[in-house]
């Protein structure tokens, strides 16, 4: 390892990281009190430049998907990153900063000193985050990670954004962890489907007849796309999109120049509209709402996103609902209840998901089939749930929220509590959505607001829209305002007065 002179001490400011390079390695210098630290320059999640992130309350927040790390030691605080930052050796001599060209080695696997077996059902966002967190938090016992999908544990958020746009082959969908990680961390992956659960006897049954005993279990089976219940819905070109296999089926069928009808105006439906359009298909969306996302983002931003879709050739229709998919061996048209017939080569159904809790029929379930958990994500003794299947208390209200980062946060909380901790969700829900090359960030969970104000114009990003209720920020939507959103991700953990937020945004 060689030290390289990379900056002067005075080049690094109090409130912003500085990116320096040694050959091809990007290194981030951060000021911690009167000292400096050197960390990897890119977020371990998706490679965002961390120098563009925000420093606040002793944490560095990633500008892209809001992973958080302790400034002091680079330790992981919040996902979607699943690893702490790699630290580089650093010395300051006569006001000059010298950094090493190799990161310090701090990988550790807890010794196998625990007799217990923890089982995780579902290796998606929540399940994989929980398996990682159990080891990170020192659990040395057996960890069994079960998923019915071979090769599970990948980033499904890219499916609707890049894969069906033809920009990322399914084999290149990023895995959440690589094979070496599972091996080194002794995480046993089982490719099997869980059929039932006996929570009293702490036993899971698999569809192949095997039974598994556990000391603690986390259920993280996610959502199942709601099927279309119409004549013709079983034709081969009627698709849903949840898994890599679904994305591959869509790609195997879709050809530029074809006509796609998308049923639904969910985030996945609209992201798919953008992607299929970019892939060269004619796209019509059959929506229930005239303005997509108005409920979550308000009318103005919803209209701006609709305008972006329309400018790119997507047609959104609200004048009729699908009553039948026509065709003998293949999709030919979608019939609407107003008598119209839309010619189609493929249909994509994006009308939401149902929590995948059928194997847990013996547990009490909410009306939507989710599992109610307490603030620590616990269902009952020895059993926890996280992600899309969990209804959890958010600001005192039971909520089920389908966000990637939140599923992973819940999983980390569950992992800590499976180990005897007492952690609760104290953060701000965050998600992102991608349309025609524009990324929209959402912080908060507002069902109602009494004021909304903008910096910039939602029709011409960059912009920030601030939603307030009783003078306190309840949600923020933004496009191309990454650093400010990273700062808000931290600041909104405490009630943030709207005035103060505006002062921060304008600074």
Give contact residues for ligand FAD (rule: CB under 6 A): 121-127, 146-149, 152, 156-157, 159-160, 193-194, 220-222, 241-242, 268, 356, 359, 387-388, 402-405, 407, 431-433
Strands of 115-242, DSSP E: 117-121, 142-147, 187-191, 194-198, 203-206, 211-213, 216-219, 223-225, 238-239
Helix axes 125-136, 404-418, angle to 10 degrees: 40
User: Rounded to an integer, what distance in angstroms lies between the CA atom of residue 102 and that of residue 216?
Assistant: 39
CB neighbour list of residue 411: distance below 8 Å, 6 or more residues apart? 125, 126, 127, 129, 130, 133, 218, 220, 377, 386, 387
Closer residue to ligand FAD (CB): 135 or 242: 242
User: Rounded to an integer, what distance in angstroms lies between the CA atom of residue 181 and that of residue 491?
Assistant: 33
Closer residue to ligand FAD (CB): 4 or 438: 438
Q: Residue 207 Cβ, how far from ligand FAD at the closest point, in Å?
A: 8
Closer residue to ligand FAD (CB): 19 or 193: 193
Closer residue to ligand FAD (CB): 24 or 252: 252
Q: Residue 418 Cβ, how far from ligand FAD at the closest point, in Å?
A: 16
Q: Residue 136 Cβ, how far from ligand FAD at the closest point, in Å?
A: 17
CB neighbour list of residue 132: distance below 8 Å, 6 or more residues apart? 82, 83, 177, 181, 185
Which of 180, 190, 178 lies closest to 147 in space, CA to CA? 190
Q: Residue 249 Cβ, how far from ligand FAD at the closest point, in Å?
A: 13
Q: Residue 482 Cβ, how far from ligand FAD at the closest point, in Å?
A: 15
Closer residue to ligand FAD (CB): 69 or 432: 432
Q: Residue 171 Cβ, how far from ligand FAD at the closest point, in Å?
A: 17
CB neighbour list of residue 410: distance below 8 Å, 6 or more residues apart? 126, 377, 386, 387, 390, 392, 425
3 state SS of 84: coil
Closer residue to ligand FAD (CB): 90 or 197: 197
Q: Residue 124 Cβ, how far from ligand FAD at the closest point, in Å?
A: 2
Closer residue to ligand FAD (CB): 303 or 403: 403
3 state SS of 101: coil
Closer residue to ligand FAD (CB): 220 or 285: 220
Q: Is 94 left (phi over 0), alpha (psi -120 to 50) or beta?
A: left
Strands of 64-149, DSSP E: 68-70, 76-78, 87-88, 90-93, 96-100, 117-121, 142-147
Q: Which residue is nearest to ligand FAD (CB)?
A: 124
Q: Residue 461 Cβ, how far from ligand FAD at the closest point, in Å?
A: 17
User: Rounded to an integer, what distance in angstroms lies between the CA atom of residue 412 and that of residue 131?
Assistant: 9
Cβ neighbours around 364 below 10 Å, total? 9
Given a contact cutoff of 8 angstroms between Cβ atoms, the answer to whether 92 and 36 are in contact is: yes
Closer residue to ligand FAD (CB): 18 or 146: 146
Strands of 351-402, DSSP E: 353-355, 371-372, 378-380, 383-385, 390-394, 397-399
CA angle in degrees (0–180, nearest 5) for 414-417-423:
85
Which of 196, 198, 218 lies closest to 373 in space, CA to CA? 218
Closer residue to ligand FAD (CB): 241 or 487: 241
Q: Residue 409 Cβ, how far from ligand FAD at the closest point, in Å?
A: 11
Q: Residue 100 Cβ, how far from ligand FAD at the closest point, in Å?
A: 36
């Amino acid at each position: 390892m060689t030290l390289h002179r990379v900056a002067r001490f005075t080049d690094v400011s109090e409130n912003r990281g500085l990116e320096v390079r040694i050959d091809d390695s990007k290194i981030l210098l951060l000021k911690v009190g009167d000292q400096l630290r050197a960390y990897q320059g890119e977020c371990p999640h998706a490679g965002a430049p961390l120098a563009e992130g925000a420093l606040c309350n002793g944490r560095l927040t990633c500008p892209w998907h809001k992973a958080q790390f302790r400034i002091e030691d680079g330790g992981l605080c919040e996902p979607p990153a699943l690893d702490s930052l790699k630290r580089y050796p650093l010395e300051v001599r006569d006001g000059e900063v010298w950094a090493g060209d190799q990161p310090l080695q701090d990988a550790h696997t807890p010794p196998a000193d625990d007799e217990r077996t923890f089982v995780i059902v579902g290796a998606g966002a929540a399940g994989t985050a929980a398996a990682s967190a159990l080891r990170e938090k020192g659990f040395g016992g057996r960890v069994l990670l079960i998923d019915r999908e071979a090769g599970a544990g990948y980033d499904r958020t890219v499916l609707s954004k890049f894969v069906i746009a033809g920009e990322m082959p399914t084999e290149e969908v990023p895995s959440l962890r690589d094979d070496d990680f599972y091996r080194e961390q002794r995480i046993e992956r089982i490719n099997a489907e869980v059929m039932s659960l006996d929570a009293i006897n702490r036993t899971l049954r698999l569809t192949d007849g095997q039974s598994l005993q556990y000391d603690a279990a986390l259920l993280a089976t996610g959502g199942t796309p709601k099927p279309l219940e119409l004549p013709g819905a079983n034709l081969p070109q009627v698709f849903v999109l949840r898994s890599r296999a679904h994305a591959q089926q869509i790609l195997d069928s879709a050809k530029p120049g074809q006509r796609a009808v998308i049923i639904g105006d969910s985030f996945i439906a609209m992201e798919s509209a953008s992607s299929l359009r970019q892939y060269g298909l004619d796209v019509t969306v059959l929506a229930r709402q005239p303005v997509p996302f108005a409920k979550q983002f308000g009318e103005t931003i919803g209209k701006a996103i609709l305008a972006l879709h329309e400018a790119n050739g997507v047609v959104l229709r609200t004048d009729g609902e699908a009553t039948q998919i026509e065709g003998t061996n293949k999709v030919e048209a979608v019939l609407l209840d107003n008598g119209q017939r839309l010619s189609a080569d493929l249909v994509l159904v994006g009308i939401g998901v149902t929590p995948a809790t059928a194997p847990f029929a013996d547990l009490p379930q909410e009306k939507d089939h989710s599992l109610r958990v307490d603030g620590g994500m616990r269902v009952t003794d020895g059993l926890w749930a996280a992600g899309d299947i969990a209804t959890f208390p958010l600001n005192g209200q039971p909520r089920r929220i389908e966000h990637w980062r939140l599923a992973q946060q819940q999983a980390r909380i569950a992992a800590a509590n499976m180990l005897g901790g007492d952690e609760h969700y104290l953060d701000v829900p965050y998600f992102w959505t991608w349309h025609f090359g524009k990324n929209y960030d959402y912080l908060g969970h507002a069902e109602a607001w009494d004021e909304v104000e903008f910096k910039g114009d939602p029709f011409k990003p960059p912009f920030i829209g601030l939603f307030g209720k009783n003078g306190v920020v309840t949600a923020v939507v933004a496009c191309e305002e990454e650093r400010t959103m990273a700062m808000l991700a931290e600041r909104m953990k405490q009630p943030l007065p709207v005035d103060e937020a505006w002062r921060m945004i304008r600074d």
